[in-house]
Amino acid sequence: MFGFEAAELAAARTVRPAYQPLRHWLEGSPRELMETRRRQAELFFRRIGITFAVYGDPDAAERLIPFDIVPRILAREEWTALEAGLKQRVGALNAFLADIYGKQEILRAGLVPPELVLLNPAFAMSQIGKRPVGDIWVQIAGIDLVRTDANQFFVLEDNARTPSGVSYMLENREVMLKLVPELFANLHVAPVEAYPEKLLETLHSVAPPGAGDEPNSVLLTPGQHNSAFYEHSFLADKLGIELVEGNDLFVRDDVVYMRTTEGPQRVDVIYRRLDDDFLDPLAFNPASMLGVPGLMSAYAAGNVTLANAVGTGVADDKAIYSYMPEIVKFYTGEEPLLSNVPTHRCREPEALAYVLDHLPELVVKEVDGSGGYGMLVGPHAPRATIEAFAAKLRAAPEKFIAQPTLALSTCPTLCDSGVAPRHVDLRPFVLTGTNGVQIVPGGLTRVALESGSLVVNSSQGGGTKDTWVLDD
């Protein structure tokens, strides 16, 4: 039998029905067995090489993301509601990008301050007037969600550049199928394994018109020193497409080719896991060795599709995020199905004053930051850190937003002391092509392994769980 922490016991009285079968399983599994399974999972991850790199930590060039074998569970009706909200949100993100690089109606309507868009470092001036295939800008989106109670999901972040983590969604499921087959036998867990196929369909659906019936798609990686390299190679393998680095591609007469043992072969769609700035040393960062010289001119000529499109970063900027409710309403004419976390834009003097007064209660983030770097979690920060952060805020308020800490939901998690509640978030992956919007049921659940911690980023010691959508 498991030792449940007091809070968990109290919470257990109100365990959501979807978790009932899991509770029986947890209570019926001896501690040693769980430990053994945890070790098996780790061995499995290590053997197949699912690792990630932590920047600035040479000793941990390849680290495992801690995996928790207690799954996170969503009932089918919860998922159905979420799915509708995600489709609405990503649809609005795409419409927003098409608009700001097109007619800019939302700016003229005065709903979003123009300078926030036009002066944004992620706004790609070169893309004004451009129309990617199907006017789809974000083919692959990762939307970070947190939940506060049974009915309330909040969007924490939109990831519209090169969201990662989907390999963990797929591999976590594989591990769970190996480790706890007995649970799958009794529960109807919706499968996620169709993701690679759907992704390939999506990529093919946005191939440029000249590509022919069998477009050649490739996955462009910065290389094996990138923190997400495992995921890049994993996905390329599952998709059955070439994993290329910048050096493998070249551009001739505005057409992209890859260097193969049989000579040059034309490339139609590039699923790029490389940031805008590194795509083409001729157009962006001339010092970059990662990109492909001339790629942007091939892109401008419409001879190659980049997924996601260039310039999408402006949509996942955290200051733009704060306008998402207005953006969703503007383009869909509907009330947003997913809520935003109330956000203080420090660029506004009133908000800044409030934030400075309430730092110990707030989470402050850089508008263009990611990975949990450069953020302040007020309730867990020592006084000195808060004071240092206040100075940074005053120096460049426009670089920050602040949000209240939510009463985040927790999920039972295997810890040293037994099963205890830990905070979780959820990143489902939303695919958009000319063939429609597709979301596999589930996503990546990240879990903060420290008691009470709210930071789930893998670069900051967070772990992952399998995510189960249960069919009735």
| Binding residues for other proteins (CB under 8 A) | 46-49, 223-224, 229-230, 233-234, 236-237, 242-245, 247-248, 258-262
CB of 260 to other proteins, least distance (A): 6
> Of the two residues 46 and 108, which places its CB atom closer to other proteins in the complex?
46
Residues 6+ apart with CB under 8 A from 193: 170, 173
Residue 456 to residue 424: CA distance in whole angstroms: 7
> Of the two residues 219 and 401, which places its CB atom closer to other proteins in the complex?
219
Tokens 């420090």 — which residue? 346
Residues 6+ apart with CB under 8 A from 455: 372, 377, 448, 461, 462
CB of 229 to other proteins, least distance (A): 8
> Of the two residues 236 and 419, which places its CB atom closer to other proteins in the complex?
236
> Of the two residues 262 and 350, which places its CB atom closer to other proteins in the complex?
262
> Of the two residues 247 and 417, which places its CB atom closer to other proteins in the complex?
247
> Of the two residues 2 and 44, which places its CB atom closer to other proteins in the complex?
44
> Of the two residues 24 and 259, which places its CB atom closer to other proteins in the complex?
259
CB of 207 to other proteins, least distance (A): 20
CB of 250 to other proteins, least distance (A): 11
CB of 218 to other proteins, least distance (A): 9
CB of 244 to other proteins, least distance (A): 6
Residues 6+ apart with CB under 8 A from 122: 276, 311, 312, 313, 314, 317, 368
CB of 249 to other proteins, least distance (A): 10
CB of 172 to other proteins, least distance (A): 17
CB of 259 to other proteins, least distance (A): 5
Residue 125 to residue 19: CA distance in whole angstroms: 49
CB of 467 to other proteins, least distance (A): 23
> Of the two residues 258 and 337, which places its CB atom closer to other proteins in the complex?
258
User: What HEC string does the chain produce?
Assistant: CCCECHHHHHHHCCCCHHHHHHHHHHHHCCHHHHHHHHHHHHHHHHHHCCCECCCCCHHHCCECCCEEEEEEEEEHHHHHHHHHHHHHHHHHHHHHHHHHCCCCHHHHCCCCCHHHHHCCCCCCHHHCCCCCHHHCCCCEEEEEEEECCCCCEEEEEEECCCCCCHHHHHHHHHHHHHHCHHHHHHCEECCCCCHHHHHHHHHHHCCCHHHCCCCCEEEECCCCCCCCHHHHHHHHHHHCCEEECHHHEEEECCEEEEEECCEEEECCEEEECCCHHHCCCCCCCCCCCCCCCCHHHHHHCCCCEEECCCCHHHHHCHHHHCCHHHHHHHHHCCCCCCEECCCEECCCHHHHHHHHHCHHHEEEEECCCCCCCCCEEHHHCCHHHHHHHHHHHHHCHHHEEEEECCCCCEEEEEECCEEEEEEEEEECEEEEECCEEEECCCCEEEECCCCCCCCCCHHHCCEEEEEEEEEC
> Of the two residues 87 and 232, which places its CB atom closer to other proteins in the complex?
232
> Of the two residues 20 and 247, which places its CB atom closer to other proteins in the complex?
247
CB of 58 to other proteins, least distance (A): 15
> Of the two residues 20 and 224, which places its CB atom closer to other proteins in the complex?
224
